[in-house]
Amino acid sequence: MAELDSSPVVLITGASSGLGLAMSCEFKKRGFRVVAICRKAPEFPPDLHISADLTESASFELVLEKLKSFCNGRLDVLVNNAGIGAYETWESLGDAELRTLFELNFFAPVKLVKSLLPLLKASRGSIINVSSIAGHMPVPCMGAYCASKAAVSMFSDTLRMELMASGIAVLNVTPGRIDTGFSKRSFGTRKVPSKFGGYASPACFASAVFNAYSKKKRSLIYPRWYFIAPLFARLFRPFYEAANLREWKLR
Ligand SMILES: NC(=O)c1ccc[n+]([C@@H]2O[C@H](COP(=O)([O-])OP(=O)(O)OC[C@H]3O[C@@H](n4cnc5c(N)ncnc54)[C@H](OP(=O)(O)O)[C@@H]3O)[C@@H](O)[C@H]2O)c1
């Protein structure tokens, strides 16, 4: 029976595909009860699926209510992973798409943290926010996505200091390109340059995240070599800009 189960509880948003699905499998393998938030039913059956659209404000009350009845409100880890991309110039990106992107990528993690903080304080738990390497470097035709992920990283890095005294750890995860089909599910009409192809597997990503979480690390860049990308973009800006103009067919 769920109430008698003493195993830790992880709540993962966007668990129906890609990185969220891989992290659900990893946490399950490590003995966690997995609560999944996503609209579609995940292929890998979680211990509890909360079907909710995180761009709608009613969803946040529902999550709290369902968590309380599932495990008396026990929550050890919150993984803010659900996200959407937009491959479009600022000029062409529609207002509705821009708002949905920010609701899902930035406001939903903030709202979830705010509503679940009492549960995380009680467990002295952890928050894992999935940002992106694109939040640390300017990519044309991905400006809105870059801005939303830069906001996520800042959210993580400021929140961590604010919560230190309450014993809650905050891990900011910065993935590079990982094979999930993410770009096909994104907004926008721009074709992603083929040089941006997938390099890493979601399963390896999930195991690196679990490892960073268990060591209470502040930050994880995955794959590791991606740390060089923002540095390169900053140090060699004219070259970086010219290459991007060419790749995105902006001239
Ligand atoms: N893959 C990459 O190369 C990469 C690189 C850097 C960062 N990231 C970040 O990693 C995270 C996961 O990406 P992914 O590659 O795994 O993408 P994905 O396979 O497209 O997964 C996105 C997940 O978000 C959920 N979702 C989308 N809209 C939602 C909504 N309105 N309400 C609730 N859930 C919603 C989807 O579930 P439903 O459709 O069932 O709701 C799905 O489970 C994202 O934050 C992304 O920005 C990915």
Rounded to whole angstroms, the Cα distance separating 242 from 251 reads 10
Whether the pLDDT of residue 58 is over 80: the answer is yes
Q: What is the pLDDT of residue 196?
A: 57
Mean pLDDT on 34-51: 96
> How many Å lie between the centroid of ligand 1 and the Cα of residue 60?
18
Q: Whose CA is nearest to atom 43 of ligand 1?
A: 14
Question: Tens digits of per-residue pLDDT, 147-191?
Answer: 999 999 999 999 999 999 999 999 999 999 998 999 999 999 998
Known catalytic membership, residue 149:
yes
> In which band, very low, low, confident or very high, does the pLDDT at 192 lie, cut at 50, 70 and 90?
confident
**Is 83 close to ligand 1, i.e. is its CB under 6 Å away?**
yes
The atom of ligand 1 lying closest to the CA of 186 is 20
For the question of whether the overall pTM of this predicted structure is more than 0.95, the answer is yes
Atom 25 (ligand 1) nearest CA: 14
SS3 percent helix, strand, coil of the chain, rounded to 5, is: 50, 15, 35
d(CA 237, CA 231): 10
Mean pLDDT value of segment 1-25: 90
Amino acid at 143: G
Q: pLDDT, tens digit, for every residue of 85-128? A: 999 999 999 999 999 999 999 999 999 999 999 999 999 999 99
Task: Please state, in angstroms and rounded to a whole number, the distance separating the CA atoms of residues 114 and 63.
Answer: 12
Q: Is 130 in the pocket of ligand 1 (CB under 6 A)?
A: yes
Average pLDDT over every residue of 25-32: 98
Catalytic residue among 145, 213, 222, 226: 145
Report the C-alpha gap between 78 and 112 in whole angstroms: 9
Element (H, E) at 101: helix 95-102
CB neighbourhood size of 116 (10 A): 20
Distance, CA of 56 to CA of 34 (rounded, Å): 22
Is residue 87 flagged as an active site residue?
no
Number of independent structural domains in the chain: 1
Instruction: For 147-215, give the DSSP string.
Output: HHHHHHHHHHHHHHHHHGGGT-EEEEEEE--BSS-GGGGSBSSPPPPGGG---B-HHHHHHHHHHHHHT
pLDDT recorded at residue 198: 59
Summarize pLDDT for 193-241 with one digit per residue, the tens: 876 555 789 999 999 999 999 999 999 999 999 999 999 999 999 999 9
Contacts of 7 (CB under 8 A, 6+ apart): 31, 32, 33
137: CATH = 3.40.50.720
**53 within ligand 1 shell (Cβ under 6 A):** yes
Average pLDDT of the segment spanning 60-64: 96
pLDDT grade for 77, boundaries at 50, 70 and 90 = very high
Segments forming the whole domain that contains residue 99:
2-247
The pLDDT value recorded for residue 251 is 87
Does residue 3 have a pLDDT over 70? Answer: no
Q: What pLDDT sits at residue 37? A: 98
pLDDT score of 2 more than 90: no
What does the pLDDT read at residue 78? Answer: 98
